[in-house]
Structure 1
Amino acid sequence: MNEPYSPAAPSSPSPGTMKMLVGFLAAFVVAQTIGTTLFCLYLHMKMDKMEETLSLNEDYVFLRRVQKCQTAEGHRSTLLDCDKILSSFQDLQCKDGGGSKQQPKFEKQTGHEHSHSKGKNETAAAAERRQPIAAHLAGVMNSRAVSVLEWRKTGYAPTSSLISYHEGKLKVERAGLYYIYAQVSFCTKATTSAPFTLYIYLYLPKEDDRLLLKGLDTHSTSQAFCDLQSVRGGGVFELREGDMVFVNVTDSTRVNYSHGSTYFGIFKL
């Protein structure tokens, strides 16, 4: 007896195979996503670095143009607009420094700028002339013997803020040439044989004081109880910032402090 032919039913993949296929596809997608993200990040960093390199290169080229415009060859070149380049560079300096005290390294002074700078210097000099750096002090009476004569300010004499007074000494706050002067009136007697001597010293804290000026006056032949005389000295000296000067005499107890007779002063030339 013949049996009818029936085709075999197709076999379906096993569940384990399906799970492996799905896991492989998922791993591939995850790996592809991670790789794409890392590549995008690398590309972004590379572009940033290229932009920074190009920016530095542009800055270097600009500075080279500025430097070249400082030379006569650069001004003669028809390929460079030096006025525009220097103007841009000065604008950048003003924005960046906000009026820096230091002079820019690459700077071109036009005639107008030079005249403006000269005008400012003349204005400063005129202000200094209106307010001279000077001080004039009157003697302060002291009954005991002192090694440094003491002084006081007077209402009629100039006193600059750039000259200060410290325990009988005048201190200069600005270096330069100064005229230093002093006069001391004193009482002398015929019985006194030693001369009365005036000294003006430069004060040096770490070494012996330096003698700048010296004045002598011999004793009087008068028979009066006290014969008034005076000795004066003055000269020009170059002082540094912070230097101090003071006055000393052989016998401070003989100094006469009447108005206008004993004084000490200094002024900048």
Structure 2
Amino acid sequence: MRGSAGPAGTAETGVTYAPAGVEDGQAGHPIRCSSKGPAARWLPFLLVCLVLCSIAGLIFYLCTPGTVLSDLGGMEKSHQDGTEIPPTTKKISVIKPRKPIAHLTGWDPPRSDGILLWDSVYRNAFMQDLDYKEGGLVVQKEGYYYVYSKVYFTEPRCSMFRHTVLWRTPRITSDLKLMESKRFHCQVSRQQRELMNSYLGGVFHLYNGDTLLVRAKNHTLIIDQSSYDNFFGAYMI
């Protein structure tokens, strides 16, 4: 036995009837409410999975070693004629040191007292918070410095060669020796001159206004062929 129809033509069984007056010949037949299908229910879940997979792929691409996001120097092929396009020239920024440092190279004709003169601008030379004056490095900031010097020289048949790093300070009237190497050599037979190196290096506490110099006895024996043969420098530690 059917239940009585409720308001708006809806039976208690939950079946909806078409209102009277429908002209398609379906009047009085029940029309059931359709629910969402399986595909509609899974669609939001699939969209979320797609977004998460895209984010994971991007993170993997960025973290992979060797990944380059911009062309830093490779040659690109033109899609039109196949010719190589040179890479875009980019300005290279130089990081300035945080502490005083200087590296002097080469040497000009020395002074009569054996003080060696250096190049402070060219031939791989550079300075930061140190000054160069008449062959000497002038300290601008008190602290501990590693001081070094190397010379390349030749030995004749008999000679005495001295390589010295001097410390000149306003507190003392005369120059003090910080480091020195000596070599006396006398060949018995007449052979070709030998080529030698002398390297000095050490840590010293220096004050503002102190000057470091390099002196060589028999400086005419020094050979200057390139910027890495003879050099002189210091840096704060």
Give the match for residue 195 of structure 1: 160
The alignment-based identity, stated in percent, is 27
Change (3 A) 1:140 1:242: same
Say whether 1:204 aligns with 2:169: yes
In the other structure, the counterpart of 1:256 is: 223
Cα distance in 1 for partners of 2:105, 2:144 equals 23
The within-5 A match list for 1:111-190 is: 130-142=97-109, 145-153=112-120, 154-160=122-128, 162-190=129-157
Superposed CA offset, 1:103-162 (max 9, x none): xxxxxxxxxxxxxxxxxxxxxxxxx984442111113231774431100023534420x1
Deviation of residue 226 (structure 1)?
2.8
Question: Given residue 183 of structure 2, which amino acid in structure 1 is its aligned partner?
Answer: D
State the SS of the aligned residue for 1:208. Answer: coil
2:103, 2:234 within 8 Å by CA — same for their partners in 1?
Answer: yes
SS of the residue corresponding to residue 220 of structure 2 reads helix
Higher helix share: 1
Q: 1:144 to 1:165 in 2, by over 3 A?
A: closer
Q: Which residue of 2 aligns with 1:217?
A: 183
Q: Report which of the two has the higher share of strand.
A: 2
3-state SS of 2:127 partner: coil
Distance of 2:110 and 2:186 partners within structure 1: 22
Distance 2:96 2:143 in 1: 15
For residues 242 and 144 of structure 1, the distance between their equivalents in structure 2, rounded to whole angstroms, comes to: 22
Q: Is the 8 A contact 1:201 1:210 kept in 2?
A: yes
1:265 to 220, 233, 236: 233
- Can you give the 5+ residue segments of structure 1 that lack an aligned partner in the other structure? 1-127
Amino acid aligned to 1:210: L
Alpha-carbon deviation of 1:242?
1.1
Cα distance per residue 1:231-257 (max 9 Å; x no partner): 111100000111111010111111111
Q: CA deviation at 1:258?
A: 1.4
**Residue 136 and residue 223 in structure 1: after superposition, are their counterparts in 2 closer, same or farther (change >3 A)?**
farther
Sort the Cα spacing of 1:138 and 1:210 in 2 relative to 1 into closer, same or farther, 3 A.
Answer: same
Aligned residues: 139
Q: Is the 8 A contact 1:134 1:159 kept in 2?
A: yes
Q: Distance in 2 between matches of 1:170 and 1:143?
A: 15
Aligned equivalents of 1:130 and 1:144: distance in 2? 32
Q: Structure 1 pair 230/155, CA: closer, same or farther in 2 (3 Å)? A: closer
TM-score where L is the length of structure 1: 0.47
Alpha-carbon distance in structure 1 between the residues aligned to 2:143 and 2:166 = 17
For the structure 1 residues 141 and 135, does the alpha-carbon distance in structure 2 shift closer, same or farther, using more than 3 Å as the test? same
Q: Which runs of 5+ in 2 are unaligned?
A: 1-94
Residues 155 and 253 from structure 1, CA distance in 2 versus in 1: closer, same or farther, beyond 3 angstroms?
closer
TM-score, normalised relative to structure 2 = 0.53
RMSD: 2.4
- For the 8 Å contact 2:131–2:137, the answer to whether it is kept is yes
